[in-house]
Structure 1
Amino acid sequence: MKELPKSRLTFKESMIESQYLATKTKEEKKQYKQLSVEDKREILKEYQSKPRKEVKFESEINKSDENLSKIYQRFSEIGVEDLFGTKKEVKELPMILKDNENIMYVTSGLYNNNTYLIVCTDLRLLFLDKGMIYGLKFHEFPFEKINSVSYKKGLLFGEIIIHHGSSSIAIGSISKNTVSRMAETIQEQISIRESSM
């Protein structure tokens, strides 16, 4: 078996580390960064071995913004695990979601070389990208406009292809742990919408 480097984390460990740190407060992140590589590995092994439903957003749930707290509470309930690089987009959700709209699943991925938050609700599919300069890029797909959904998995990442009308949109670099669940959730919502018509 290949020996792990002693002075740094491997690429795969770094990916797990980014997911782990997304669930921590500033103070916890500061303490974590002071640990040795071996200690970090132990913490990441323990984190990875947890059932995903146990990954919580305690620090975000306890914040003063009530609407944002409710969103993070929902993320915790539905077992969201990958919000890599989408904190700004999550903050926009309270303004974008309708009063009667429920989040069914969320993940992140790359589209046009930008990181997007992918949100499947019970009403529509949303892609959000909040830039520093250009503001919010927002793509909305009502389920009745989506013809089909397909996905593929690679070694570390996956891709979802949304076929709508005569065109399609592909979102890549989605965590392979979340790509199938997101595709299945979208398909479920399309089926529910079709059966209610």
Structure 2
Amino acid sequence: MNNMEKRKELTQKRNWSGIFELNGVKIDSFGTKKELSVLGDYLQKDEVVFALVSGVMSQSVTSNDFDFGANTWIAALTSERVLCLDHAMMSSSVDTQSIRLNRIQGVSASQGWIFGKVTIDIGARLIVIDNCEKSHVKIFADLANQLIRQKDDEAASPSVSNLSIADEISKLNDLYIKGVFTADEFSKAKAKLIDKL
């Protein structure tokens, strides 16, 4: 993924405007200044932010009782998930929705005359973030789909190093069977390879 080290650095510094700039767009904090101020508190250790988009989302079953209708949320695409935050206006409460990347089937972007929309397909339902900056939605969706594809590829294929270590152990076993190694030598060599996993 492009600029991973820079994204990691900006995330650690909570430099959200830097994330927007890295993606080639201007920061959009209209209606989401409170959400941006607490975003870092909701990230896991080593979680990296790739893109941000703010827009209107309908309330969900996890929303505060005092919230009605649709509110302005910030959605952060991270190395692990899409994290959506809605900070209450009159209190310090924050509504969150967290969708793990491996649960997302796809992310779509729609661009209208003035605003855009991001739709996150999680199979059983769609999560829609509407009234977004139209230049932000395509970047968010493209990066999300790249991350999802990367996670799928990683899950589908075992790592090369694990395969090569398994091959090495198999070769050691063949040599042991042929009598090249003693049982003790075989055990020590096998233990060294297993430690590399």
Equivalent positions of 1:48-127 (< 5 A) are 67-68=13-14, 70-81=15-26, 82-112=28-58, 113-127=70-84
Show the counterpart of 2:182.
Answer: none
For residues 145-164 of structure 1, give each alpha carbon's deviation from its aligned partner in whole angstroms, at most 9, with x where no partner exists: 11112221110001111110
Query: Would you identify which runs of 4 or more consecutive aligned residues in structure 1 move more than 3 Å?
Result: 70-80
Identity %: 28
1:147 and 2:108 aligned: no
* Count of residue pairs the alignment pairs up: 132
Q: Quick check: 1:80–1:107 contact (8 Å CA) kept in 2?
A: no
Cα distance in 1 for partners of 2:30, 2:120 equals 21
Q: Quick check: 1:80–1:105 contact (8 Å CA) kept in 2?
A: no
Q: Quick check: 1:118–1:128 contact (8 Å CA) kept in 2?
A: yes
Cα distance in 1 for partners of 2:43, 2:120 equals 21
Assess, with a 3 A threshold, how the Cα gap between structure 1 residues 172 and 76 changes in structure 2: closer, same or farther. Answer: same
Cα distance in 1 for partners of 2:44, 2:51 equals 16
Amino acid at match of 1:83: S
Cα deviation for residue 185 of structure 1 reads 1.1
With normalisation by structure 1, the TM-score equals 0.61
Pick the aligned partner of 1:130 from 87, 111, 114: 87
- Higher gyration radius (CA): 2
What secondary structure is seen at the aligned counterpart in 2 of 1:187? Answer: helix
Structure 2: gaps (5+ residues)? 1-9, 59-69, 156-197
Cα distance in 1 for partners of 2:23, 2:81 equals 17
Q: Quick check: 1:146–1:164 contact (8 Å CA) kept in 2?
A: yes
Q: Quick check: 2:25–2:135 contact (8 Å CA) kept in 1?
A: no
With normalisation by structure 2, the TM-score equals 0.61
Assess, with a 3 A threshold, how the Cα gap between structure 1 residues 72 and 150 changes in structure 2: closer, same or farther. Answer: closer
Assess, with a 3 A threshold, how the Cα gap between structure 1 residues 90 and 77 changes in structure 2: closer, same or farther. Answer: same
Q: Quick check: 2:49–2:77 contact (8 Å CA) kept in 1?
A: yes
Amino acid at match of 2:40: P
Report which structure shows greater RCO (CA 8 Å, sep ≥6): 2
